[in-house]
Structure 1
Amino acid sequence: MLRHLLKLIWKRKSRNMMLSLEILLAFLVVFAIAAFGLRYWQLYQMPTGHSWKNQWSVSIRVAGDIPNDAAIFDSLKRGLLDLPEVESVAFSSFGTYEMSRWTEEYTLPDGSNELTIDGMGVSDDYFKTMEVTPAAGRVFSTLDDGADAAPVVINQRLADKFFPGKNPIGQLFVLAPREQRVQQRYRVTGVVAQFRSHGEFMDPVYFMLPRYIPGVGKDAAYNIMLKLKPGTPRIFETRLNAKLKQIRNDWNFVITPQSEARKSMLNTQLVPLIILAVIAAFLLVMVAFGLFGVLWQNTTQRIPEIGLRRALGADAGSIYRQIISEQMLLSTSAIVIAMVLLVQLPLTDVFGESLNWTVFTQATLLSASVIYLLSLLCSLYPGWRAARLSPTQALHYE
């Protein structure tokens, strides 16, 4: 039966070639959307490394630069801790669930293994405030005052890359040497399993959290992170802003609960996927109409052939199965060709972790299922129409 169907398909190869090409393009479109969506789902399942339910972010907005004055930041911390709703206060270069990003190149002390690393300067209380728990070592504290190298907490991804097979705690790395730049040294005090500042849909990157000390260095922190008591209402924002203005009336403050910032970030990051999904749905509808029309035309042109088969004793069920089986074989050939092309992507690592083997396999299965379902639905009515023709009607068809 299979051999017979292949012969029939080959004899009409000029017609079937365009049909197969249409199915192939549809498969590629569905695969792209499926891979995109599955990667998002995969990222969403990964831990971000920080909490957001009881955390609020306060962004400092001023004209010009903020002076890195220890007295100013100390007054901010003391004043905020006076509020009964506030459990912990910390400072950072920027907040989580923001589009802000800071990257630099770093190497090992001998100048080898240069990497681009994301970073965020944070104060000692940041880990308690954001509920960040080290997987190895410890977070920095006053114990690191006067150390010969700046203390830093790194994520496991960076530890594995910089120090493979070694205990990263106590290891050194440096700011990559550049003209007119002091080579800063960093010593690892702790390792966190994961840290993704942009939230659930951020791709894992090499990340470091160097220590920020108010009053030390020229760069000040532009963000205050607060941990509030569970159940603190949104109306607390009014009292919080009044307290901040009482401390620094010449500064402006943008207060954002991390739950709101997270929701906004997720919605923003989902926009490309939604747009692509709408485009893909429109294309699939167009493909379905085209596929249905081609199958209808092919079936109409084959009515004499179908009539001859019926006259020779083939029943309606056999005709029905033949039409559907031919379409499934065409879909299979198009999918196989597409897979030969697509399998090169994870093999060559063109898209890196974005198209890992798990995503590739799941996207392939999902896309093939969609194409087979589409082909089946489009061939049901033409097959049924061909099967219900009587031998007399079919043989006299012109």
Structure 2
Amino acid sequence: MIRHLLKLVWNRKRANALILVEIFFTFLVVFAVGTLGLFLWDNARRPLGFDWQDVWAVRVNMQAGSDDTFTAEQVETAARLVREVETLAPVEAVTGAMMEPFAFGQYTSGRTVNGRRVSMSVNEVTASFAEVMRFDVVRGRWFQPADAALAWRPVVIDEDLAREAWGEEDPIGRRLGDPDPKSPEPERRVIGVVRDFRHHGELSGPDNFVFYHKRLGHPQDRPPRVLLVRVRPGTPVAFEEELTRRLQAVAHEWSFEIAPLAQTRESAFRLRLTPLLVGGIVAFFLLLMVALGLLGVLWQNLLQRTREIGLRRAIGASRAEVHRQIILEQLLLTTLGVLLGTIVVIQLPVLDVFGSVLRPQVFGSGLLSASVAMYLLATVCALYPSTLAGRVQPAEALRYE
């Protein structure tokens, strides 16, 4: 039966070629959109790693040329800003950082650990960061003010980085990076491990993350460009005006932009969902185009094959058999397009395009969902023409004689 259907499809290769190409490209688009949707859904189910509610971000503009250019006066002014904010009644805690959670920017670094290159995202934070963001240290400890006197620089990493760099071994006390005599950077050692820290939000994928200790007020450490302020629940928006006034009183030449992390989180959601929305619209119109193409080809085939179908009915074929033949022909054509698309798609994990970001289960689910979508589309499009084909009577073939 399959051999006979393959011959029928091959004999109408010109009519089927365009539909095959449409199925191929539509499969790729549906796979991309479906996998992206499953990837975001899979990420949303995982713990975020910190508490963003009732936290405000104060972006500090020191009117400096770059983050690496700063003066001792700016360092001291930044420290006074933190102390000033701590005195305000609605404030529970305040910390300094180079980046706020959910921010679009990213500071990445690559280090050689145990002879293997490991990439990671970095944030420089002061000792009160854990108190403000409320996350748990699962091994070791968090930064302390006494760490400023250490001859080496302490770091805290998340579980993702600990697993990639050291596997199941205990990372506490280990160097973050193999020794490099030519590098001017100080030696960094791991003092603690936190749960997976999803800096870019619930929809972001797994990421190796490391916290560098920013010594507030130390002349060698650049001042924080973001202050994260945890306010008491129910603090009114009007407090923003008072906060700005107090900050401006300490650093009148600097400018400040205040926004709740809830607002930054919402922007991050929109940024990550926009590709899914655009891809979904493109996939919808491609599916619609393929559906119309399938209906057109099947309808044309039905008109051209009236004699063939009538002859089959005359020699004993039932309506159900004709109905099944038309549907199987369409499913076979869809299978060829899906197979071509699958051959292309499976090259992505082979070439390690996704790295460790996309889990194999998500990739497999995306491939399966795209295949099921194409088969459902083909079946639905073939139902009505195949029903009409089953109604052809043997006498219809005599009209052409």
TM-score normalized with structure 1 length: 0.90
Q: Say if 1:55 and 1:228, in contact at 8 Å, map to a contact too.
A: yes
SS of 1:210 mapped into structure 2: strand
Q: Say if 2:56 and 2:261, in contact at 8 Å, map to a contact too.
A: yes
Paired position in structure 2 for 1:45: 45
Against the structure 1 CA distance between its residues 52 and 32, is the aligned structure 2 distance closer, same or farther, given a 3 Å change threshold? same
User: Structure 1 CA distance, aligned partners of 2:201 and 2:191?
Assistant: 24
Paired position in structure 2 for 1:212: 214
After TM superposition, list the pairs within 5 Å mapping 1:34-183 onto structure 2: 34-64=34-64, 67-68=71-72, 71-108=76-113, 112-174=115-177, 177=180, 182-183=184-185
User: Structure 2 CA distance, aligned partners of 1:351 and 1:174?
Assistant: 24
Q: How many residues align?
A: 395
Q: Say if 2:121 and 2:209, in contact at 8 Å, map to a contact too.
A: yes
User: Structure 1 CA distance, aligned partners of 2:326 and 2:23?
Assistant: 16
Deviations 1:107-137 (A, max 9, x none): 35x8x33433321110010011011211211
SS of 2:230 mapped into structure 1: strand
Q: Does 1:262 align with 2:269?
A: no
Equivalent in 220, 227, 230 of residue 227 of structure 1: 230
Paired position in structure 2 for 1:319: 322
How many Å apart are 1:169 and its aligned residue? 0.8
User: Structure 2 CA distance, aligned partners of 1:316 and 1:50?
Assistant: 63
Against the structure 1 CA distance between its residues 282 and 47, is the aligned structure 2 distance closer, same or farther, given a 3 Å change threshold? same
Deviations 1:16-54 (A, max 9, x none): 444333322221221122122222222222333222111
User: Structure 2 CA distance, aligned partners of 1:94 and 1:347?
Assistant: 35
Unpaired runs of at least 5, structure 1:
none
User: Structure 2 CA distance, aligned partners of 1:116 and 1:27?
Assistant: 33
SS of 1:135 mapped into structure 2: strand
Residue identity opposite 2:340 in structure 1: I
Once the two structures are aligned, what percentage of the paired residues are identical? 35
How many Å apart are 1:218 and its aligned residue? 4.3
Q: Does 1:242 align with 2:245?
A: yes
Q: Does 1:185 align with 2:190?
A: no
How many Å apart are 1:224 and its aligned residue? 0.3
Residue identity opposite 2:341 in structure 1: A
User: Structure 2 CA distance, aligned partners of 1:68 and 1:285?
Assistant: 64
SS of 2:284 mapped into structure 1: helix
Deviations 1:333-383 (A, max 9, x none): 332333233223223323223443212211122111211121122212212
User: Structure 2 CA distance, aligned partners of 1:272 and 1:178?
Assistant: 45
Deviations 1:251-276 (A, max 9, x none): 21110100110001110122222222
Unpaired runs of at least 5, structure 2:
none
User: Structure 2 CA distance, aligned partners of 1:228 and 1:382?
Assistant: 65
User: Structure 2 CA distance, aligned partners of 1:101 and 1:364?
Assistant: 31
Deviations 1:160-206 (A, max 9, x none): 23333421111123587596x51311121101121232222333332
User: Structure 1 CA distance, aligned partners of 2:356 and 2:399?
Assistant: 61
How many Å apart are 1:83 and its aligned residue? 2.2
User: Structure 2 CA distance, aligned partners of 1:317 and 1:165?
Assistant: 60
Deviations 1:197-243 (A, max 9, x none): 22223333322101111222141111100111123233322222222
Residue identity opposite 2:274 in structure 1: V
How many Å apart are 1:152 and its aligned residue? 0.9
TM-score normalized with structure 2 length: 0.90
SS of 1:353 mapped into structure 2: coil
Residue identity opposite 1:206 in structure 2: N
SS of 1:396 mapped into structure 2: helix
Q: Say if 2:148 and 2:215, in contact at 8 Å, map to a contact too.
A: no
User: Structure 2 CA distance, aligned partners of 1:317 and 1:74?
Assistant: 82
User: Structure 2 CA distance, aligned partners of 1:104 and 1:84?
Assistant: 38
Paired position in structure 2 for 1:21: 21
Against the structure 1 CA distance between its residues 380 and 15, is the aligned structure 2 distance closer, same or farther, given a 3 Å change threshold? same
Q: Say if 2:62 and 2:255, in contact at 8 Å, map to a contact too.
A: yes
| Aligned Cα root-mean-square deviation (Å) | 2.5
Against the structure 1 CA distance between its residues 116 and 357, is the aligned structure 2 distance closer, same or farther, given a 3 Å change threshold? closer
Paired position in structure 2 for 1:391: 394
